[in-house]
Amino acid sequence: MTSPADIDVIVFDVLGTMVDEPGGIRRGLRAALPGCGDARLEELLEVWQRHVEERQREMLSGRRPYAPSTALDREAAERVAAEAGAADPGAPGALAAAAQRLDPWPDSVAALDRIAARFTVVGLSNAAPAALTRISAHAGLRWHQALSAADAAGYKPHPDVYGLAVATADRAPERLLMVAAHAWDLRAAQTAGMRTAYVERPVGDPPRAGDAFDLYAGSLAELATALGAD
């Protein structure tokens, strides 16, 4: 088991790990498309998420030039509004803004503050810089530093994004602990030499049988305790 003495910097994924991204988009869909039933809203949420994931994969493979998360959210919002037949021309803008008003999970703020009292805490997100600032402000997440994958002109799980965190911390990669609710995120962090901690969330990518992360926690509060952040 990783000892807190082996760690200098805690690096947190944000979307899904610290904030409820699907919940915020779902809430925006409900406000912008009041005529949609719950089942249709879930279909539209899936359209949104699939659009963003596919475009990010295109960029990672080099099939599309880099574009920031705000551009992808706007594309997804326009697609969803068109598929829903939204009559309000302001619907895409309202939907795109909802992607930056994401509520924290119940333990995110308090546990982050606990951990920040002992370690340097850094947010590392696929969200563009301005979006990351708004997301953190809305959720009440207080970082020592917030890093956007846009600074590496890419998206996780590209190695350059994790390299950005390592270079900014100015520490050996094994002195950084990557915290995420997405096993794919942690696998990529391991490849970059970072230590890893999986935190269970209602959304995310659970570990596979072959995964071997340094820490596993049922909540961020549980992780804070494991790190000795009382």
Q: For residue range 46-103, list pLDDT tens digits in order.
A: 999 999 999 999 999 999 999 999 999 999 999 999 999 988 899 999 999 999 999 9
pLDDT at 209 over 90: yes
CATH of domain 4-20+102-226: 3.40.50.1000
Taking each continuous run of H as one helix and of E as one strand, the counts in the chain are: 9, 6
Tens of pLDDT along 64-77?
Answer: 999 999 999 999 99
pLDDT at site 129:
98
pLDDT at site 86:
87
CB atoms inside a 10 Å sphere around CB 230: 8
pLDDT at site 2:
76
In this prediction, residues 106-114 reach a mean pLDDT of 98
Mean pLDDT across the chain, nearest whole number?
96
Q: Give the confidence band of 4 by pLDDT, cuts at 50, 70, 90.
A: confident
For the entire predicted model, the pTM comes to: 0.96
Q: Give the confidence band of 1 by pLDDT, cuts at 50, 70, 90.
A: low
Extents of the domains making up the chain: 4-20+102-226, 21-98
Decide: helix, strand or coil at residue 122.
strand
The CB-side HSE value for 135 (13 A sphere, CA atoms) comes to 34
Q: How far separated are the first and last CA of the chain, in Å rounded?
A: 19
Angle between helices 91-98 and 21-32 (to 10 degrees): 160
Q: Give the confidence band of 196 by pLDDT, cuts at 50, 70, 90.
A: very high
pLDDT at 116 over 90: yes
Single out the residue of 182, 188, 185 nearest to residue 159, CA to CA: 188
